[in-house]
Amino acid sequence: MKHNYLDNIPLEEAKEKFFTLAKKDFTHKTEEISTTEAVGRVLSGAVYAKICCPHYNASAMDGIAVKAKDTYSASESTPVILTADMYTVVDTGDAIPDDKDAVIMVEDLSFENNGRVKIIASVHPFQNVRQIGEDICMGDMIAPSFTVVTPSLCGAMLAGGIIKATVIEKPVVAIIPTGDEIVSPTDNPKRGEIIEFNSSIFSGMLKSWDADTVVYPIIPDKKDMIKLSVKEAAEKYDAVLVLAGSSAGRDDYTCDIIKELGEVCVHGIAIKPGKPAVLGKIGSTPVVGLPGYPVSAIVVMREIVRDLIAFLSHKTVKAENKITAVLGKRIIFSLKYREYVRVTIGKIGEIYVAVPLPRGAGIVTSFTKADGIIVVPQNSEGIEQGEAVDVILVNPCKDIENSIIMTGSHDPIIDEINDLLKIKGYPYSVSSSHVGSMGALSAVKLGQAHLGGIHLLDTETGRYNDSYVEKYLDADTATHVKGIGRIQGLMVEKGNPKNIKGFADIVDHRYVNRQLGSGTRILFDYLLKTNGIDKNEIDGYRNEEFTHTAVAAQIAGGNADCGLGIYSAAQMYGLDFIELSVEEYDFIVNNDFINTPMYNAFMEVFRSDELKERMKEMGGYTLG
Amino acid sequence: MKHNYLDNIPLEEAKEKFFTLAKKDFTHKTEEISTTEAVGRVLSGAVYAKICCPHYNASAMDGIAVKAKDTYSASESTPVILTADMYTVVDTGDAIPDDKDAVIMVEDLSFENNGRVKIIASVHPFQNVRQIGEDICMGDMIAPSFTVVTPSLCGAMLAGGIIKATVIEKPVVAIIPTGDEIVSPTDNPKRGEIIEFNSSIFSGMLKSWDADTVVYPIIPDKKDMIKLSVKEAAEKYDAVLVLAGSSAGRDDYTCDIIKELGEVCVHGIAIKPGKPAVLGKIGSTPVVGLPGYPVSAIVVMREIVRDLIAFLSHKTVKAENKITAVLGKRIIFSLKYREYVRVTIGKIGEIYVAVPLPRGAGIVTSFTKADGIIVVPQNSEGIEQGEAVDVILVNPCKDIENSIIMTGSHDPIIDEINDLLKIKGYPYSVSSSHVGSMGALSAVKLGQAHLGGIHLLDTETGRYNDSYVEKYLDADTATHVKGIGRIQGLMVEKGNPKNIKGFADIVDHRYVNRQLGSGTRILFDYLLKTNGIDKNEIDGYRNEEFTHTAVAAQIAGGNADCGLGIYSAAQMYGLDFIELSVEEYDFIVNNDFINTPMYNAFMEVFRSDELKERMKEMGGYTLG
């Protein structure tokens, strides 16, 4: 097994090297297109008007064209009568006859017999006339070189007689997915097969940056085959992205291939995720080797490929909006990389709170859910909870002001409430993170969430939630709102092949646990105690998951034999379910949030018949 | 001649009426498409994962899969040797064999003879393994209803086994241009012909809002023909825009046609520009009659049609960015309308300054040049110079921070400097307004422009600029920078058919003047005085234009026989030119701007050989 090490070049230096290489001997290609098709394109040179607009003296009104001096004596007390030979009826836009020089609007006319018209006010020369060149004069520069054609500029160019525009060619980017294990999108992949979705993500990003894309068929990890495609793509297209194989492992060929066909200037960048990227050039075509992990590759796309497309298009990259937010959860870093932390953002009272999402390079949903990114410089050890951070806003569709920040215990009904808010036409959305019931108490207390979901068993009294709320929250800060009843139980494989009959049987089997601080974990530890079982007897006690469905997935996938969770998760995965107890899942609500329109909408949906219907379908809920 | 009056309904009320009508009995159409094509589309329902991602336990590293418990005793002092039967070589993404549960990364391995591997650290179960469902669990809601598919959401859906997506159909909007005088884009329109560019502007806007468009051929002002097209379009497409004919004049049929085929709910909105709009519905299709003046129609597009497209697409309209700026020029309003004032914006020191652009409804370049819009409520009488105003930013491509605000006297070389800045790769642009030399002095003095262009003749000394700068600006505020020499003279028709030999001859002919405060006007008044001519003898003394090219255009178009201006303007229009004097065109520069990178770039270009080359080509300049 070979293993080579990568460089760890700071991003700025990597970009400097790459763009110096890319710009060397590079000429932008141009094409002539119809101006009517030019919106969004970049002019390759300055555009000068060929004609004036208007190009003749035009009436600015519906009315009559007159000689201004025929009207000078008109007033309310001394009206002037114009005979038919002294005026011409004109509509807006009509040419003013050569012997006339002003227009009286129709509202100011009294028509009399024999085509005579009475007027009671004078007009001066060129009044109500759009004079030649009022908007654009022939010879005026309508736009300088490299202007992006907006819709109104397109109109101005046409008005100035420019019917063809010479523009920079749109870059076409080839995307080459590689990998033995990669398969085209399917809903039934075999074990070991990875669905190829990166090319769709990158196509979408490239199109949003106004590039066209060509996606190659998936190529297996055969160096010669990949090399052939990269060579062809570099000859035919304006840039090439090779997906996966960018690191230095056994089957990683991207770097060697670019070296053999052209030049590599960077292999390994000091960013995380995104380190194992390759930057180079074949002929005059920039080539980027992207890491296989989607989040790594998205970071490289945002930090490097976006600038590359801007360079190829002769555009500038518009800075993204930033806000300052308070960090909702401590994060620590390795010192070796600039890190990109995806966060959700909510506005709690007047303060923006940024909550970090899972940081794994393979967690594509961390980008799907992200409202923003915190860029942490190399050599930072960490950021404490409560510190102010700059957040780059990455989702232009997301309305952060209307985002309900819900945290704590995971229950699928929160997602259903989010969906019903949309269906009922509310502008609000629920942004939920799963930090367990104890996490909810702390987040709501610190003003880092609008509300939380809790199901906390008091192991002394056997009652739910009340004692915790009393202990951790004061009534000025938060309000306890009763929620729903949920059936908790043991999820076991379909048909219960291990014949697990009750809680005591779990000691003989592989268990999958929930994380510390979750209500389900507290229940589990309580059940261990009441059943007299030592946690060290449990095979898998330290195997922790964050949601009910994740526990169900481990059992359905054969990683474990049993786990504690709610009925609806078991049903979703076709698992058998051994009922153990009914727990109370309640809300704790930040008092500043209570009675806001967002809160009222959330509660309206929570109490709606539509949600009850859905809960009935999911099963395992009792409605209070 | 008939004339009907329009309503004057406040915008909110007009929209309320229109959207109530549009939403009545309306159902969104949906279609199923490949998820790989879904970026930018709107999901018509919630999407739940069909499979887990990963859907099997996958290696997170290149390395070897092992049983964790085989490694527990490994440490630097007590290495463990694994024999070939105790591990499986895995690459990132490979499935972990059923009898293994952890991965040791390749960097931590020492390969020995006979396939034996030495390890010096233990791994715990599932270490370096991407467990089933780490990213997405089957059954989890990936996105709620009506989510716009981002590139990463597209990836998450594919990862969750969603290969088809049901989305809201993209609205298709029919655009029907009408008018006898309207012709397709040409560079050689006849007198009375108006180039049809509105449909290109609106197509561009609609596409930027993610609607598709169908542009009909131009239909003359024949009611039956227009009606036929409107009827067909309302049946085939999701919305119809009828261009022009929306007012109440002789040839305005839009309102009647919509009434006859369906229902009109609004005719006339209290906005300026944009008043004569018609809003209605035919069958289930919303129909909008847009005013013929481009700026009026753009306002109606932005204020009403954008919301309509959002409704048809089931999207929300994202609020545009706003800034607070200081108004650079007093504006007054009629009390009857909400007004939309287009402005350029620059950052002078730390303050944003908004300078109003021409307000005419026909001036499409007022939108082309606009960086922002000030929305002035009905019943406002005016806004004073220096007042703070909210400005909506309308040009996402424009980088206001890099905008050089140049004001004062008009000279085409300013546009050439702007172009050369782009060509030389600077991020800066020049935003110039033509307020004459005296306007430049006041704007620079008040900190409302970075720099100004002046050519002011001291009629006592016969010298240019110095005495004005001394009188109006103090050295702490601004610096006087020497510019260029320009040849001023009389522009007359080609071949000089009126036989104008010198300045004294102008009394017998139609003159076109420049506006008060312009250097050319000061020169003209000085020449009148020195030639002993009374201004009342001048036919056209009050006929004022704002630029040299506008004066040339009036002469070339036959509106006047002569006018004072610079040689390059005469040459551009093929006019004869009678040289009168060489004037000094200088810059006055706000001291805060001096020596900034923007200023240095401007001056570098001003002094460049490229600009000298262009000035030589234009003619009429002397280089100091």
Q: What's the pLDDT tens digit per position in A321-357?
A: 899 999 988 898 888 899 999 999 999 988 999 999 9
A72 touches chain B (CB under 8 A): no
pLDDT of residue B624: 57
Q: 3-class DSSP state for residue B333?
A: coil
Residue A447 · residue A349 · CB < 8 Å: yes
Q: Which residue from B138, B154, B412 is facing A553, i.e. has the nearest CB? A: B138
Residue A546 · residue A410 · CB < 8 Å: yes
Tokens at residue B556, please? 């070339």
Residue B258 · residue B282 · CB < 8 Å: yes
pLDDT of residue A623: 74
Residue A139 · residue A49 · CB < 8 Å: yes
pLDDT of residue A3: 53
Tokens at residue B441, please? 């002095």
Instruction: Spell out the domains of chain B, with CATH numbers in brackets.
Output: 11-26+171-313 (3.40.980.10), 30-53+135-168 (3.90.105.10), 58-130 (2.170.190.11), 324-396 (2.40.340.10), 431-622 (3.40.190.290)
Q: How buried is B515 (Cβ within 10 angstroms: 0-12 exposed, 13-18 middle, 19+ buried)?
A: middle
Tokens at residue B319, please? 């609020």
Task: Answer yes or no: is pLDDT of B623 > 80.
Answer: no
Query: Element (H or E) spanning B429, and its range?
Result: strand B429-434
Which residue from B minimizes the CA distance to A130? Answer: B362
pLDDT of residue A123: 92
A566 touches chain B (CB under 8 A): no
C-alpha span between A527 and A504 (Å, rounded): 9
Which candidate in B51, B126, B201 is best for mutational testing of the A interface (most A CBs within 10 A)?
A: B201
CB contact under 8 A, A553 and B52: yes
Which candidate in A301, A365, A554, A605 is best for mutational testing of the B interface (most B CBs within 10 A)?
A: A365
Q: How does DSSP classify residue A54?
A: S
pTM of the model: 0.93
pLDDT of residue B462: 87
Residue A290 · residue A283 · CB < 8 Å: no
C-alpha span between B217 and A377 (Å, rounded): 57
Q: Which residue from A367, A418, A572 is facing B152, i.e. has the nearest CB? A: A367
Please give the full DSSP string across B138-204, using - where no structure is assigned. TT-EEE-TT-B--HHHHHHHHHTT--EEEEEPPPEEEEEEB-TTEE-S-SSPPTT-EE--HHHHHHH
CB contact under 8 A, B429 and A91: no
C-alpha span between A275 and B110 (Å, rounded): 24
CB contact under 8 A, A363 and B542: no
Provide mean pLDDT across the span A568-590.
94
CB contact under 8 A, B542 and A569: no
Q: Smallest Cα–Cα separation from B513: which of B465, B485, B555, B574?
A: B555
Phi–psi pair at B523, nearest 5 degrees: -60, -45
pLDDT of residue B4: 64
C-alpha span between B44 and B146 (Å, rounded): 5
Q: Which positions 534-553 of B are in contact with A (Cβ < 8 Å)?
A: 540, 542-543, 547, 549-550, 552-553
CB contact under 8 A, B51 and A91: no
Task: Answer yes or no: is pLDDT of A2 > 60.
Answer: no
pLDDT of residue B3: 53
Q: 3-class DSSP state for residue B624?
A: coil
The residue to which tokens 């809300």 are assigned: A587
> B189 preceded by cis ω (within 30°)?
no
In which band, very low, low, confident or very high, does the pLDDT at A151 lie, cut at 50, 70 and 90? very high
Helices (H), A212-350: 223-236, 254-261, 294-300, 306-313
The residue to which tokens 């005419």 are assigned: B360
Round the average pLDDT of chain B to a whole number and report it.
93
CB contact under 8 A, B559 and A54: no
Q: How does DSSP classify residue B606?
A: H
CB contact under 8 A, A137 and B552: yes
Q: Which positions 576-615 of B are in contact with A (Cβ < 8 Å)?
A: none
Tens digit of each residue's pLDDT (9 = 90 or more) over B348-395: 988 999 999 988 888 999 999 999 999 999 888 899 988 999 999 998
Phi–psi pair at B267, nearest 5 degrees: -140, 95
CB contact under 8 A, B423 and A145: yes
ipTM metric: 0.93
Which residue from A minimizes the CA distance to B210? Answer: A208
CB contact under 8 A, B364 and A159: yes
C-alpha span between B43 and B40 (Å, rounded): 10
How far off is chain A from B577, nearest CA to CA, in Å?
Answer: 17
Tens digit of each residue's pLDDT (9 = 90 or more) over B320-331: 889 999 998 889
Which candidate in A154, A316, A364, A400 is best for mutational testing of the B interface (most B CBs within 10 A)?
A: A364
Q: Which residue from A151, A194, A201 is facing B205, i.e. has the nearest CB? A: A151
Q: How buried is A199 (Cβ within 10 angstroms: 0-12 exposed, 13-18 middle, 19+ buried)?
A: buried
Dihedral (CA of B379, B384, B388, B390) sign: positive
B20 touches chain A (CB under 8 A): no
B126 touches chain A (CB under 8 A): yes
Task: Answer yes or no: is pLDDT of A69 > 60.
Answer: yes
C-alpha span between B181 and B202 (Å, rounded): 19
Residues of A in contact with B418 (CB under 8 A): 141, 144
Radius of gyration from C-alpha coordinates of chain A:
34
CB contact under 8 A, B572 and A141: no
Please give the full DSSP string across B72-121, using - where no structure is assigned. TT--SSS-EEEPGGG-EEE-TTPBPPTT--EEEEGGG-EE-GGG-EEESS
Residue B488 · residue B621 · CB < 8 Å: no
C-alpha span between B185 and A139 (Å, rounded): 18
Report how far apart, in Å, the C-alpha atoms of B15 and of each of A424, A441, B207, B267, B318 are. Answer: 21, 44, 22, 12, 17
Helices (H), B323-369: 365-368
Q: Which residue from B138, B145, B152 is facing A573, i.e. has the nearest CB? A: B138
Q: How buried is B113 (Cβ within 10 angstroms: 0-12 exposed, 13-18 middle, 19+ buried)?
A: exposed
Which residue from A minimizes the CA distance to B572? Answer: A139
B143 touches chain A (CB under 8 A): yes
B303 touches chain A (CB under 8 A): no
Task: Answer yes or no: is pLDDT of A433 > 90.
Answer: no
Please give the full DSSP string across B287-303, using - where no structure is assigned. EEEEPSSHHHHHHHIII
Residues of B in contact with A419 (CB under 8 A): 46, 141, 144-145
Q: How many CB atoms lie within 10 A of CB A505?
A: 16
The packing angle between helices A597-606 and A609-618, to 10°, is 50
How far off is chain B from A139, nearest CA to CA, in Å?
Answer: 6
> A597 preceded by cis ω (within 30°)?
no
Helices (H), A162-253: 198-208, 223-236
Provide mean pLDDT across the span A206-234.
97
Q: Which residue from A146, A155, A204 is facing B198, i.e. has the nearest CB? A: A155
A185 touches chain B (CB under 8 A): yes
Tens digit of each residue's pLDDT (9 = 90 or more) over B33-49: 999 999 999 999 999 99
Helices (H), B213-291: 223-236, 254-261
Dihedral (CA of A131, A137, A143, A144) sign: negative
Residues of A in contact with B142 (CB under 8 A): 365, 368
Provide mean pLDDT across the span A373-386.
91
pLDDT of residue A54: 93
Task: Answer yes or no: is pLDDT of A604 > 70.
Answer: yes
In which band, very low, low, confident or very high, does the pLDDT at A624 lie, cut at 50, 70 and 90? low
CB contact under 8 A, B161 and A186: yes
CB contact under 8 A, A364 and B62: no
Which residue from B minimizes the CA distance to A1? Answer: B106
CB contact under 8 A, A192 and B56: yes
The strand pairing partners of A141, in sequence order, are A48
